[in-house]
Structure 1
Amino acid sequence: MKKKVSRNIVLYALVVAACLLMAGCSTNKTDAALESPRNTSEKKIPVTIYMNGPVKGSLDPVLVPVQREIVLKGEDSDKLRVKAAVEELIKGVTEKEKEAGLTTSLPKEVKVLNVGIKRPYVTVDFSSELQVMGGAMLISSFLEQIKYTLTEFDGIAGVILQVNGEQVGTEANPFTGDGFQFNALVRPAGGSWAKSISPSRALDNFIVSIGNGDIKEMWLWMGPGVREQYKYPDMTNISELSEGLGAWRNYKVVSENINGDKAVVIIKGDQKLEGMTEKDAQYTAYMVKENGQWKWDPKSK
């Protein structure tokens, strides 16, 4: 009788041990299943960057558009795309591009610390190595490379540069020892590029030209109706425009309706009025096409 009980105890112990072992295995599987899966997805995206071309009979830098393919791992955003494009400029030219005479003006030591986008502006924060660049010609070509590369992106018309979080290129803080001042870098109006962009992107450029206080540039983004109102560039009411349309930041294009040579663009976002930011404000811009280029013209409605 005692032997039978002993065998039962042994069998019971073996069953319990087996159950515990199975439970342990089951627990491990559950823990593994609860772990967040690693995002190993990669996305290859084509971008256009601008390198310095070979100088031919002129000391002025000649820009050459170059197609590159950037790889984004996991997350995809406009900020990451912009950062990757600038880093391609820092990497420099390929062997094939070098043989063709292309160069880059960005120092290889410089790093991109941060990127911020608030339409129609992008702010790129660089490490301190950028501020010690020397030579007016080198600096000019760098500014052109950055300006043309980043304004390829939709919704970016003005490029603001920072070094260690502080804006450079202003009157209070010129860029490098050569004293460059530009506030926001912007592509000039006119030419094939200006004719190729949409009404909303033309509006972006007009807003940036107001922010820069550049009357000549503003005039080139104005349609015939509003030019007739002001008569001459010097008679343009800059204060009124600066406090109105020029105060828009961090907005989205709600709609863009094109009807022949006229278009209506509705934007919604932040507008500063008398020092106060009005959130989710809305503005309707009337645009007209003149000589193939979209221009701001409230008189065309």
Structure 2
Amino acid sequence: MNIIIVSRKHGRSRMVSSWALMFALMVMVTVSVAVSWFVFSSIPKEGVVVIDGAVAEEWQHRIAEQSSELEKTRQYTEEQINALRIKLAELQGRLTRLDALGERLVDVASLDQGEFDFSAPVAVGGPEGQTVGYEAPDFVSILDDLAVTIDNREQQLSVLNSLLGDREIQSETFVAGRPILRGWMSSRYGYRNDPFSGNKAWHDGVDFAGKEGADIVAVASGVVTWAGTRYGYGELVEISHGNGFVTRYAHCSEILVSVGDVVKKSDVVALMGSTGRSTGPHVHFEVKLYGKSVDPSKYINRVARF
């Protein structure tokens, strides 16, 4: 069999025998097989090598380092969580003590239980805000709630402390009681027969008789505004208690305070005597309110209600 080949360039044709064509195909197949064998023989039997040994060793070293860092991080996180748990227990213990102290103070001060209720949860509220996707761990939420509760308790105790302080000040400056520890009332407030002239005369205070040198005490806390001799009174101590109240202690044998001294309720300010216009050892006790004398009897028998 013959094959006719036509040339495009010259338009000529020529005949090629089938044996020549078969020979050409055999040459092409042989070359292809040879090239394939060469490529296959150049590949190692264990497979294609993507990375060399040094790179693999470096990667293993990095993985080992990262594993070590991860383990350290895990241990550190556990330590921090344990520390937070200990702190949480401590805060809860402090809160329990604060609540117990607050309830005790409320009970002692006879305050309204509803105003200072340390057993009730913290009252909070407000409009709903925009939420976020992240949710904090449970222990963080507990710490946040506990911090809010402690702040609330501290505010309550602060207000309670101020209230009790005000009550204590009012109680200390509350004019009430007798200016002596032992003795008896020998003359009352108002008109009486003057012990020297026998005529009817006004008496601005009350007299308490007792022993020479007996203690004279302040009936309320205040500041000493007079400590010395005064006509008719002999040795006189005058104390200002605020809110317009002033008390006087006259005919003392000895004065134990000075002008400007701050004295507390029941402090000994002088000793009983008979100086000035007096017939014997006693203390003349006066109470003045905004400069005007008032009957001391109602303050002597007064009961503090704080």
Common topology (TM > 0.5): no
TM-score, structure 1 as length reference: 0.25
TM-score, structure 2 as length reference: 0.25
- State which structure, 1 or 2, has the greater radius of gyration over its C-alpha atoms: 2
Structure with the larger RCO, 1 or 2 (CA within 8 Å, 6+ apart)? 2
